Structure 1
Amino acid sequence: MTVRRVVPNIRSEAVRESREFYGLLGFEEVMNHGWIMTLASPSSPAAQISVMGEDRTAPVTPDLSVEVDDVDAAYAVVLESGAEIVHPLQDEEWGVRRFFVRDPSGRVVNVLGHR
């Protein structure tokens, strides 16, 4: 399994203001689903930040997203470890397959792969 990117998720009710603020640092909007917006650096596209209200299909808002090349393998490894699954593995309508797991410090990690 290979990690493709890691993105911090900032929970915010001030999405427009956040886009403007991070724009001051050179970030540009690359995705916006209404409830989650991702900003990226044009010169280094893997440098990203997501700003979101509440997650559309999960019971909690994740703190961090980790994109992997094989989300099913990641799920099997995490499940085998006994870590707490916060949101089950599922396909989402916006083209990702994902699950949420709680890390040892209590942070919720969104582990995903693009279909």
Structure 2
Amino acid sequence: MRVERVVPDLTVTDLRSAVAEHSAVLGLRVLMDHGWIVTLGDEEGHQLSLITRDASAPVNPDVSVFVDDVTAAFARAEAAGLEIVHPLTDEPWGVTRFFYRDSDGRVINVGMHTDRE
């Protein structure tokens, strides 16, 4: 299993304002907008996600880690005895993912693109 991308996830109360603020200051543009999460980025691959409330999980993640084999990552999380907060799920927006909670209480979203929109 290989990590392909790591994206911080900031929980925000006003998505539109947060997008405007971070775009203005950081010069990032909208790469993805699902209405509840917006990912900003640049041409070099730097990304930042802003999220109000996750569409299918019980909690918002603190960070998203995209891998080339999410099933292997899930097996590793289970073998490590970590709390699985959101089960391995094929999401309707083309990502297979799961969430685990680390020992400091942070929620990590681990996923891979399974269908390009």
TM range (shorter): over 0.9
User: C-alpha distance in 2, partners of 1:77/1:39?
Assistant: 29
User: C-alpha distance in 2, partners of 1:27/1:86?
Assistant: 30
The SS at the match of 1:9 is: strand
1:84 corresponds to: 83
Q: TM-score, normalised by structure 2?
A: 0.93
Give the aligned residue type for 1:106. Answer: G
The SS at the match of 1:19 is: helix
Give the aligned residue type for 1:59. Answer: P
The SS at the match of 1:18 is: helix
User: C-alpha distance in 1, partners of 2:53/2:18?
Assistant: 15
The SS at the match of 1:65 is: strand
1:7 corresponds to: 7
Structure 1 gap ranges (5+): none
User: C-alpha distance in 1, partners of 2:22/2:52?
Assistant: 17
Q: 1:13 Cα shift?
A: 1.7
Q: TM-score, normalised by structure 1?
A: 0.95
The SS at the match of 1:78 is: helix
User: C-alpha distance in 2, partners of 1:92/1:3?
Assistant: 20
Q: Which runs of 4+ in 1 moved over 2 A?
A: none
Q: What percent identity do the matched residue pairs reach?
A: 50
Structure 2 gap ranges (5+): none
Q: 1:14 Cα shift?
A: 1.4
| Structural mapping, 1:10-21, within 5 Å | 10-21=10-21
Q: 1:16 Cα shift?
A: 1.1
